[in-house]
């Protein structure tokens, strides 16, 4: 099944008996849950519900990617209407402890963790078929690794909970765990998931995690923690699996009728045809504010507008630019709209159905990312002039219609003569390859370049304390003895 989302209603009834306080992991008071995990169908519905958590506001429905883009030099807000102050604060490095954005990211990722913990606590003792049990266990571990990877990159230290909480005392005992231990758990979960998951899934199961999804995410985790040898080995396994390839035409990646292609490793599935709540919001949200060319009236756009700095970053002849953004449009009144009100991202452009969203998936992991991460890991281990890392980088450039970069190129803009030159070339390539996909901020933090690159572009600059977002004030208020605040939070 294509993640049919029937579980959204089912899971809200079964698991929805608790508030979002206590990091959305508070003791379960709904007795029906104990009676739920019995049959194979129960576990299938539970894991579908865990996947459904990925399309929450605080995960991939909006906020994870907005942190990745708005908190960088790639995008800005197209309007500062009063209901968007928190997004402007995100863009200008002024996030408040009461921000609904950080609250939603915290709550929704932990809600996903709670769902998978409930599965993992019980499935080992279940009598469902062994192959089904192994697969669902692997999927739950993959999802828990992903949720914690989101949290640790945004907040730093977070409470680490790998089992369902049974009492209020257990909840009060939770404090923030050092990031090294969080990453250790993520690696453990993803390693187990990689071993358990299938190499591929049937067309009827598109959207479920695979061995490649676990391996690609594990490679990204290793890259983030600067474990380059393990990153290299994991990413190479994904490449050698033969399951993935680059599409010839970059634009095809953004055609909603061609989604789940050979380049897609893991994507959050959105389908407007199922119900009014399962379509993707990206086109309506990220097109211009008060865009007049939709088939219905809306003022919800303007959330992720390309900066002039990003537009200037594309090399002449880069085919990705036209596939990724527009610099103006002609309104229904025949006026050419330019500037901040006229430019917009174009990757997610499936025309939304009123109140039902579009069919664009959210790409969490794609093969181009694996190739570039692999090249980055190789370069960090040892710079090799015109070696494999160059080949990987140039594969991406060639698809975009650009010339290769080489170690002794006569053109200085195409010359990579040192390890640091390669780092900067990779930074540039990732910026334009993954524009509007929520990578830029996380990339700059991972490489230690966020302050140097973004500081001069932000009024007042930025400081190390701003490399993480503040812990939601509500989490500290409910348990001040255990949950503390990040330094410098406002």
SS3 136: helix
Q: Where are the alpha helices (DSSP H) in 270-411?
A: 282-286, 308-313, 320-324, 367-381, 388-399
Residue 248 in any domain: the answer is no
If asked whether residues 310 and 379 sit together in one domain, one would say no
Give the length of the chain.
490
**CATH number of the domain that 447 lies in?**
1.25.40.900
If asked whether residues 345 and 450 sit together in one domain, one would say no
If asked whether residues 162 and 205 sit together in one domain, one would say yes
Tens of each residue's pLDDT in the chain, 490 residues: 333 333 333 333 333 333 334 445 444 444 456 678 889 999 999 999 999 999 999 999 999 999 999 999 999 999 877 779 999 999 999 999 999 999 999 999 999 999 999 999 999 999 999 999 999 999 999 999 999 999 999 999 999 999 988 888 888 888 999 999 999 999 999 999 999 999 999 999 999 999 999 999 999 999 999 999 999 999 999 999 999 999 999 999 999 999 999 999 999 999 987 666 689 999 999 999 989 999 888 888 999 999 999 999 999 999 999 999 999 999 999 999 999 999 999 999 999 887 789 999 999 999 999 999 999 999 999 999 999 999 999 999 999 999 999 999 999 999 999 999 999 999 999 999 999 999 999 999 999 999 999 999 998 899 999 999 999 999 999 999 999 999 988 7
If asked whether residues 22 and 155 sit together in one domain, one would say yes
pLDDT recorded at residue 469: 98
Taking residue 48's Cβ as centre, other Cβ atoms within 10 Å add up to 21
Number of domains in the chain: 3
Angle at 430 between CA 427 and CA 436, to 5 degrees: 125
Residue 253 in any domain: the answer is no
Gap between the Cα atoms of 466 and 450, Å rounded = 10
Gap between the Cα atoms of 435 and 343, Å rounded = 14
C-alpha distances in angstroms, 277 versus 6, 141, 281? 11, 26, 10
Domain residues for the domain of 449 are 365-460
If asked whether residues 340 and 369 sit together in one domain, one would say no
Q: Could you give phi then psi for residue 326, rounded to 5 degrees?
A: -125, 145
If asked whether residues 314 and 406 sit together in one domain, one would say no
Residue 268 in any domain: the answer is no
Domain boundary residue, one of 292, 315, 349:
349
CB 50 within 8 A of CB 115: yes
If asked whether residues 337 and 374 sit together in one domain, one would say no
pLDDT recorded at residue 274: 63
Ranges of beta strands (E only) in 35-160 are: 75-76
If asked whether residues 64 and 205 sit together in one domain, one would say yes
**CATH number of the domain that 13 lies in?**
1.25.40.390
If asked whether residues 333 and 423 sit together in one domain, one would say no
If asked whether residues 62 and 185 sit together in one domain, one would say yes
If asked whether residues 312 and 402 sit together in one domain, one would say no
SS3 306: strand
Please report where in the chains the tokens 């807000």 appear, as a residue: 77
**pTM, whole model, 2 decimals?**
0.93
- In 3D space, the residue among 72, 178, 60 whose CA is nearest the CA of residue 108 turns out to be 60
CB 293 within 8 A of CB 332: yes
Residue 220 in any domain: the answer is no
Question: Which residues, at least 6 apart from 141, have a Cβ–Cβ distance to it below 8 Å?
Answer: 116, 120, 189, 190, 192, 193, 196
If asked whether residues 55 and 189 sit together in one domain, one would say yes
Residue 21 in any domain: the answer is yes
Residue 376 in any domain: the answer is yes
CB 436 within 8 A of CB 306: yes
Domain boundary residue, one of 319, 349, 379:
349
Q: Could you give phi then psi for residue 133, rounded to 5 degrees?
A: -60, -45
Please report where in the chains the tokens 């508030």 appear, as a residue: 19
Residue 152 in any domain: the answer is yes
Gap between the Cα atoms of 290 and 299, Å rounded = 5
Parallel, antiparallel or unpaired: strands 264-268 and 305-306:
unpaired
Residue 244 in any domain: the answer is no
Gap between the Cα atoms of 97 and 101, Å rounded = 10
pLDDT recorded at residue 275: 61
């Amino acid at each position: 099944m294509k993640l049919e989302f029937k579980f959204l209603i089912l899971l809200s009834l079964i698991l929805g008996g608790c508030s979002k306080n206590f990091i959305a992991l508070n003791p379960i008071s709904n007795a029906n849950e104990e009676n739920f995990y019995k049959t194979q169908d129960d576990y299938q519905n539970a894991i579908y519900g865990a996947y459904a958590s990925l399309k929450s506001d605080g995960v991939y429905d909006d906020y994870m990617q907005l942190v990745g883009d708005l908190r960088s030099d790639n995008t800005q807000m197209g309007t500062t209407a009063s209901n968007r102050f928190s997004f402007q604060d995100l863009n200008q490095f002024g996030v408040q402890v009461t921000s609904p954005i950080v609250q939603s990211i915290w709550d929704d990722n932990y809600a996903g963790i709670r769902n998978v913990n409930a599965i993992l606590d019980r499935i080992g003792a279940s009598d469902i078929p062994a192959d089904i049990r192994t697969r669902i266990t692997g999927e739950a571990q993959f999802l828990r690794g992903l949720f914690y990877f989101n949290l640790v990159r945004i907040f730093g230290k977070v409470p680490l909970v790998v089992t369902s909480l049974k009492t209020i005392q257990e909840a009060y005992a939770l404090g923030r765990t050092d990031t090294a231990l969080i990453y250790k758990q993520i690696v453990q979960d993803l390693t187990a998931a990689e071993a358990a998951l299938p190499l591929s899934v049937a067309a009827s199961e598109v959207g479920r995690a695979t061995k490649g999804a676990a391996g690609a995410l594990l490679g990204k985790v290793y890259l983030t923690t600067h474990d380059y040898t393990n990153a290299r080995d994991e990413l190479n396994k994904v490449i050698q699996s033969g399951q993935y390839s680059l599409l010839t035409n970059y634009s095809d990646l953004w055609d909603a009728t061609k989604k789940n292609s050979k380049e897609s490793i893991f994507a959050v599935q959105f389908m407007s045809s199922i119900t009014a709540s399962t379509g993707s919001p990206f086109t309506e949200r990220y097109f211009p504010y008060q865009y007049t060319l939709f088939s219905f009236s809306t003022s919800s756009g303007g959330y992720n507008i390309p900066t002039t700095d990003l537009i200037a970053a594309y090399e002449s002849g880069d085919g990705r630019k036209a596939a990724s953004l527009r610099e103006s449009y002609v309104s229904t009144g025949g006026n050419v709209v330019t500037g901040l009100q006229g430019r917009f991202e174009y990757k997610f452009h499936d025309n939304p159905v009123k109140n039902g969203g579009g069919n664009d998936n959210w790409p969490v992991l794609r093969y181009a990312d694996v190739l570039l991460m692999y090249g980055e890991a190789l370069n960090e281990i040892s710079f090799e002039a015109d070696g494999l890392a160059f080949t990987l980088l140039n594969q991406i450039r060639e698809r975009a219609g650009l010339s290769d970069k080489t170690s002794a190129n006569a053109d200085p803009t195409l010359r990579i003569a040192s390890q640091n030159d390669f780092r900067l070339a990779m930074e540039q390539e990732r910026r334009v390859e993954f524009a509007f996909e929520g990578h830029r901020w996380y990339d700059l933090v991972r490489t230690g370049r966020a302050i140097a690159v973004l500081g001069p572009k932000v009024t007042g600059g930025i400081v190390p304390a701003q490399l993480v977002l503040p812990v939601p004030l509500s989490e500290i208020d409910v348990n001040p003895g255990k949950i503390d605040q990040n330094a410098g939070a406002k």
